[in-house]
Every structure is written in structure tokens, then in C-alpha cells.
Structure 1
Amino acid sequence: MRNFVVSFVIIFLGFTLAIVYHNNNKNNMVKAFAITLSLLKPTDDKSVILINSTIISDFFKKYPDLKKYKSDVSALYKNRNYKSIWYDRKGVIEFASLLYSKANLLNEEGIESNLAYKDKIDGIFGKKSTDKLSPTDTELQLSSLYIFYSKKVFQGIDTKKIRETGWFLPRKNLSYKNLLDSLLINPQLLSKNEKQLFGQYYKLREALKKYRLIEKNGDWNPITTDLLPKEYKLGDSSKTIGQIRQRLAVIGDLKQNSKSNLYDKELMAGVLNYKKRNSMKMDYSINSMLIQRMNTPIEKHIKAIIVNMERCRWIAPEMTKADEYIIINVPSFKLIFKRNSKKELDSDVFVGETMNETVIISSNVTQIVFSPYWNVPNSIIENELIPAISREKNYLEAHNMEWKNGKIRQKPGKKNALGLVKFIFPNADGIYLHDTPSKSLFQSEYRAYSHGCINMSKAKELALLLLKDNPDWPIERIDNAMKGEKETVCILKKKIPIHIVYFTAWANDSGEISFYNDVYERDSRLAELLISDDSK
């Protein structure tokens, strides 16, 4: 079509010039040239490169290692009526250069990967290249680069692989078209885009920069231990104390390193801060367990940051935008309830043991059950209760249990396994959030003891907060319902989102990063998936 227009314009020009020459009028000749040039001038700055489905198909045949991006690239152009994206009348647009620069800095995003035919991309921007690309190939190479970058940074590995890691939270949706539109309007969103990425991602990215710098500077020195004593207390002096002081200064738990080998109050504050942010038992002692934890290789911390950045890519940023929500991080053994972006409760929890892992899901709390029955799962009846009953005839009576419709249930009471209140959120695994009579277990640093449900230390406090504005449930009624005498169900007027997540590294608003035990050993598996994904 374009060739036809050009031919027509040439014929028209010849015809016009003949008339002008015949009339011998210079002014008319100038006007004729102006009319002709206006016909040749593109009417749309973004349509200077010819693109259609056939050209796209031929491109991916020519560059087969980019074929996995074909459907997304094709959809991109179809949505834009096959107008070029990366060219205007001046040439390749400036945003393409910014995208190229960011793609060369993927390491800062915790990604080790290169686009196929990178030498071709380099050639577009004046780097060494064996041959010069045609404008069409340049256009489609840049579109492939955009899809590659967006997948790596804004989306992460595919859903099937995510589920292999035991993560069943809803996957966020990513529109390449909408993302591109926003980036073309505001290119700075390439550096930080909290509408596309969970805010925690950028905090972890800063932590990654910090820990890589520590590694580069050689400041992660091993902490050696004296033979005696086994535990250091306030006032003790040792070379080990000085090494711990140096480490705490490097990672930010101390503002400065006095280089003293004395365990003083300044160091004590740093030790407590380290223990608090890493969910350790809060005491002043420096023992072998603390030193072992602090001697975690920095490479392992860096890997933890990278895999948790990947987890952030899967989460819709809107997840934590609700007016009220509950979030439970399994590795930290912590529950947080937020209302209007303000933390109103944090509670210790214990979660499923390794043979009964707590599932990573999102749901909504719909009911609160006070003084609940515990309907014992069949697996526990078969594996634990039947053998116990065979050894002890009065076992059920002794544990306040009874048979009901061929099942065993535990009656309401203070010794009920669910405690005095449980929170129901629909899920396929039949797990609950609930109180527990086993309060002593919260004193342990490691708290993966349950059959999959989540036991919390401050269950009553959560119930009070969720029913705070419900006039039908004053404190007196809640207290009465929690006496353990009769099961009472409260259906919430407003569903409360609950998210059970798995983060082994987490940075707070001030940039402090916490590292938690990988209780279900999922980090290494995710790291392997990232490597295999990048190798393709």
C-alpha cells in the first residue's frame, strides 16, 4: 500500500511540475513541491516501520532462540494495530536506550540472565556487532527485549514452577500492553514501580546491594570462639566479643565499632536488636547458637534475598492494600494484623511440622468460633488415637473426647486442642487459625509443631480486634463465649483477608533485614528453579 502511495505521488509530482513549467510560475512551483512533500511525510511518528503478522513470523524463524516470546510480541503489535513501538522520525526512541541499560543491570535485580542474540541488541546501541540490523529486525529485537525484561523483573517464573515450591497464593496478572504504555509515559517506572511489584521487593533490592557490598569489601569475617566460657555475659571480655561487635557494626545493629573486646551495654543493645529482628529468644547471653547463626556464610544470606525477591514478583501489590488484613509468615512464626496500614497486633504462632506443612494460601476469615469442638482428622484418629485407645481404655474420657457419627471429637474446654477460639477461613486443606492450650511452646525459637493448622498466642486479642466495631459482640459477651462451656459461632459481617506467606528474608521500612530459618527447606529448590529458568 505504501509503495502504491509513493508511486502515485511521483506521478502526481511529474504532472504538477509539467503544468507549472507550462505556466512558467515560480510561486506555483514552490507550492507544488510543498504539497508533494506533505504527501510523503508520515502522518504518524510511530508508523515508520512496517510490521505485520507475516513479518513477525519470519523474524522468529530467523531468530529461533527468541521463539518463546513470539505470542507476547505478536499480541503487543496486534493491540497497537501493528504500529512500530521503538521508532519515530528521528530513529530509535530514547526509552529503548533506557530499557537496554536496565537489561544490562539485571544483576541488581537478583537475576543472572542474558537475552539470546545479545550481540544484536548491543549493535543497535553502538556496541560491537558482526552486522547491522535492518530497521524491522531492530524493532522486533527491542520488543523481544522488552518482553524478556518484563518477564524476568515484573513477573518471575511461571505458575507451574511456583506451585512446585508449595506456593498457592493467587498469582498477580501482568498486562504487557498496559505496562508498556505506562513505561512510555513515565520511563522512571523501570526503576521503581510499586503498582507492578510488591513493595517489599524494593526493600530487599536495597538489602541485596548492601550485602553484596559487605561481601565485596571482605567485611564478613568469621567469628571464632574461645574454648571457655561457653556463654558470654555482660562484663565478660574476649576476642570473640570483639569479632561480634565488628559484625554487628557492619550489618547495622551497632552504629559504630568501638573495637572493644568487652561485653558492655552498647554491645548488649546490638545483640538484642539482632535477636529481635531474626526472631530469636530475647535474652542478653552470647552462646554457641548465636555465634553459629551469625557465622552463616554471607553467600547464603545473598541467596536468601534473591529468592525472596523472586517470591515478591508473584504477589499482587494490592494484597496489602486492604483496610484490614491478617498476614502470617511461616518461617518467622509471626502473625500481624493491620488496620488502615497500621499494625494493631503481632502474635507468635506455631505452624505445621515438616511432615504436615502449613499451606501457603490466601483466603478470608468468615467466622469466629468460640469454645469450639475439635473434630479430629481421620489421619490423626488412625495414626495416633486408635493406638492410644488400644493401650488405654479411658483415653477418650481422660482427654474430654467422644465418638460422634463415627468420628472422634474433643469437647469444648480449656484443654481443647483448638483452645477457646478458632478463626475459619475457607480452604481446601481444612486448616484453621486458632488458640492453643500449649502456651509454653511459644517460648521456643523453633515452632513448627502442629499438624498444619496455625496456633497463635494472642487469639483472644485478635477476636477482640475483629469484633471491635460490632455492637452485637461486646467484650462481656466474648468473655462469656470463651468460658469453654458451649460452642458459639459468630459470622463476621465483613470478611477479613488472610494471607499465609513464606519469606525467609524480610526488610522493614527502615531497611533492617531479618533472616529466618528455612523451616520447609524451600529456598534451595527455588534457587534451582531460577537457575534452570535462566538457562533456557
Structure 2
Amino acid sequence: MAISFKLGTGLMLGALAAASLTAPARANDNWLSFGPVSGSGSSASDPTTEREALKEFERNPPAGLPTLSPANIEATKAAIARYKDIVAAGGWKPVPDAVVKPDEQHFAIVELRDRLIVSGELPADQAGGETLDGKLVEALKAYQATNGLTPNGRLDKPTIAALNVSAEDRLKQLETNLKRLAELTQVVKPQRKYVVVNIPAAQVEAVALNRVITRHTGVVGKVDRPTPLLRSTITEMNFNPIWRLPPTVIQKDLIPQGREMQAEGKNVLVKTGIEAYDGNGKKVDPEKIDWNSSAPKSYSYRQPPGKDNPLGFVKINFASGESVYMHDSPSEGLFGRNFRAASSGCIRVHNIERLAYWLLGQNDGWDEDKIAAMKQTGERKDVRLATPVPLHFVYITAWATEDGVIQFRRDLYSRDGVAEIATSY
């Protein structure tokens, strides 16, 4: 069967092929509910179907509630009060390292039950047994979904790492992020249109009238090439753009790869279609470049539009001192993964055509069909937005929304001052 589920938002995500489930209810909290949707014969007992369903969840998250809503301030304060009580009561015990699938038995499941009872995903009357089944599977999926993990209902290493972040560290994250939220909500105009990239969540929100119109899976900067925080304004789109390689990519990727391939008798520029230009703007013969010399450092590089261009079919431009931007990607694989810190700082956006259409707002006839045609034909065109749209790159790892749902994400760039385990799952 297909399932739809609600992530504490009142908005449904459909067409996930997995088992029919009903989430455990927590008092005054409509935070995660699963329910059957008719019309599909797939089943979670088919591992291939389940994997595809989970990838689809990662690629197309539910719209949800806006991360920077002013209502999240009071909700996060309430979450802090709740976690202070948890800490005062002694927190929770660590869950032993184990890999356990639904319907399997393991002694670690006893500790898992106790852990989820403390944080509220599981009713108190579910303590005891060593089998990962029934309401416990549902509660574990709920926990995974609100902690930025793929809700597969399995006890696995990433889930154990998240579970074993101490209550004290989770409290500290909430307190730290309350300050961030307080500052950001003073800047964001909730009654207007804006875009938010929450870097630790690796997600992009398009927001209008304090409602998420569309949410997109993103790929953000690696730990050693972090995406910067910024406030800017989206002003332009480049359809089927030329990729001008940024300095970081030239120094850390292109030149080392050029040296490696030269040692094998190959040429990185010939293989990729990237072009090199000297200081006078003259194109350099790729076969004459010695990648072991200093000359490659003095060149600029660009890649024409095409199927191998890493910017895909559209690039979203805004002022940035760090030369970052948002763009499409010809590679879909990373969007279906839970951990998506893999870029050199720019943001890759899944289903970027939807975001492009929303940003343009039918500016000069730019409807969905016209955007789709640009992708199909590969025509080069630059388009200015009739109304620039505010953009915020933020770092929010813990927050609560107005419906009472508490969310945590990994401290990707170690900025919360908490234990390393909070960064590594």
C-alpha cells in the first residue's frame, strides 16, 4: 500500500510506498500520523519497494511549518521547559549499540523502549519487551522523522547516535537555537515571500504568508567546505548556465584531479568538457597544460551548458561575498540520501523547477510549461525577477513548531558546543 503522513504540520505527504501504519498518539500532540492510501499494491515486505519509498521521502519532504515562524519562539521556549524537566529527572540511559530490524529481538530494545518513553514518542505502558514490533516501530519512525533521519523503523547506527545525544546536550541545543531564532525572526517578514535554506537540515523552504508553499531537499557544503550563513536577495536566474568554476573547486578538485589524470596519460579538461582561459581571456589548449606546474593556478575555467554541467538547467543568483549560489544538479543520487553534506558550499536543489516557477511568479509569461521547455531545449537565457525575493541561509539544529513538535538535526558544522555524537549521525 502507499502511505501518507503528517509531520506535525497538518499537511500531507502522499505516495510513499510502504506499510499501512497508525502512529501512537501523544497527549495534545498531532505530530506524526501514518495512514493507508488506497490504490497501490506495494508492500514494505518487499525490500526494494521499501528502499525506493524511503528515497522518495528524502527527495520530496512534506511542506511542513516554516522554520522561522514567529510562533516557533514560544513553542521552543515550551520545549526548553520540557527538556529542563527531563534533565532534572536524570535524562535517559544510552541505548546499546545494535542493528535491529522490525520483528527482531535484542536486549537493546528494552533500553530503546525506555528511551522513547522519556522523550515522549512511546506511551509509558509500552515498557518491557525485547521485540522491535507494533507501537514501538511506529514510535521509532516518529522519532527518526523529527530528528532528521529516514523513518525506516529500524534501530541502526545513525539512529542510535541520535538517541544517545544526552538530554543535557539536547537542552543546550534548544537554548542555543532559541537565540538564533529570536534574531532571525526579527529579520524575516512573515507576511511576505522569502526563501530559507536550513543548512543542518539540508532543506530549502519557499515561504509566503507564513506558510511553506514548497519544501525542497538540498545538498549543502561538506564539513570542510561549509555553506556560509547569509542574508541576501534572489534577483536573477540563469537557464542552462555556463559554470564558472569557483576558486575552491579549482584548487581542491580540478588541479589535483588534473595531476592524477595526467599521470595516467589522460586529460581532465578533455574528459569533462571544461575550458581553460588565460589572463587575457584567450582559450588555452588543454593538451598543452602541465598540471604539475604553477600555470593551472593562473587560469580561469568554465564549462558550457550541457548534460554534464554540474549546475544542471538553472542557477539561482543572489549577492554573496562567498560566491555561492543555488542550482540544479544532473545527478539525482544524493537527493535520495539522508546525509547530504557533499557540495563545495553551494546549494543543490531537488525539483528546482518548482522553486523557479514560484520565484518568477509568472513574470513575463514564465509559467510551468515555459520552464519545462527551457529544460528540454537547453536554451541559454538569463531572467531578472520582477520582484526580488529575500533569501536566508541559516543554521538551526533544534526548534519547536506551533503544533508542539520538537525537531532536532545533527550539528553538522559543530557550532552548538555539544558532544561530538550530535554531529556524527
TM-score by length of 1: 0.57
Partner in structure 2 of residue 250 of structure 1: 118
Shift of 1:484: 6.4
Pick from 484, 497, 515: which aligns with 2:390? 497
Considering only CA atoms, is the larger Rg found in Structure 1 or Structure 2? 1
Higher helix share: 1
Please state if 1:209 is matched with 2:74: no
The amino acid across from 1:288 in the alignment is K
Shift of 1:517: 1.4
Shift of 1:393: 4.8
The within-5 A match list for 1:312-327 is 312-327=181-196
Please state if 1:513 is matched with 2:382: no
Distance 1:223 1:379, change over 3 A: closer
Q: CA RMSD in A?
A: 2.2
1: distance between equivalents of 2:191 and 2:303? 36
The amino acid across from 1:455 in the alignment is R
The amino acid across from 1:360 in the alignment is L
| Secondary structure of the structure 2 residue equivalent to 1:201 | helix
Partner in structure 2 of residue 144 of structure 1: none
| Secondary structure of the structure 1 residue equivalent to 2:126 | coil
The amino acid across from 2:353 in the alignment is K
Q: Deviations over 1:200-245 (max 9, x none)?
A: 33222111110111122235233235xxxx4222222334223222
Please state if 1:403 is matched with 2:276: yes
Q: Is residue 413–residue 484 contact of structure 1 (8 Å, CA) maintained in 2?
A: no
The amino acid across from 1:234 in the alignment is P
2: distance between equivalents of 1:272 and 1:285? 8
Partner in structure 2 of residue 297 of structure 1: 166
Q: Is residue 242–residue 260 contact of structure 1 (8 Å, CA) maintained in 2?
A: yes
Distance 1:324 1:255, change over 3 A: farther
The amino acid across from 1:203 in the alignment is A
Please state if 1:524 is matched with 2:417: yes
The amino acid across from 2:357 in the alignment is L
| Structure 1: runs of 5 or more not aligned | 1-196, 526-536
Distance 1:222 1:382, change over 3 A: closer
Q: Deviations over 1:315-361 (max 9, x none)?
A: 34350414211111111111111122221211111211223221111
Partner in structure 2 of residue 190 of structure 1: none
Shift of 1:375: 0.3
Q: Is residue 369–residue 421 contact of structure 1 (8 Å, CA) maintained in 2?
A: yes
Partner in structure 1 of residue 27 of structure 2: none
Partner in structure 2 of residue 428 of structure 1: 321
Distance 1:465 1:313, change over 3 A: closer
The amino acid across from 1:232 in the alignment is V
2: distance between equivalents of 1:330 and 1:440? 19
Partner in structure 2 of residue 310 of structure 1: 179
Higher relative contact order (CA 8 A, sep 6+): 2
The within-5 A match list for 1:126-141 is none
Partner in structure 1 of residue 42 of structure 2: none
The within-5 A match list for 1:122-521 is 198-218=70-90, 220-225=92-97, 230-261=98-129, 262-390=131-259, 391=262, 393-404=266-277, 405=281, 407-483=300-376, 485-521=378-414
1: distance between equivalents of 2:143 and 2:121? 6
| Secondary structure of the structure 2 residue equivalent to 1:423 | strand
Moved over 4 A (4+): none
% identical aligned pairs: 28
Q: Is residue 231–residue 285 contact of structure 1 (8 Å, CA) maintained in 2?
A: yes
Higher strand share: 2
Q: How many residues align structurally?
A: 325
TM-score by length of 2: 0.71
2: distance between equivalents of 1:486 and 1:398? 23
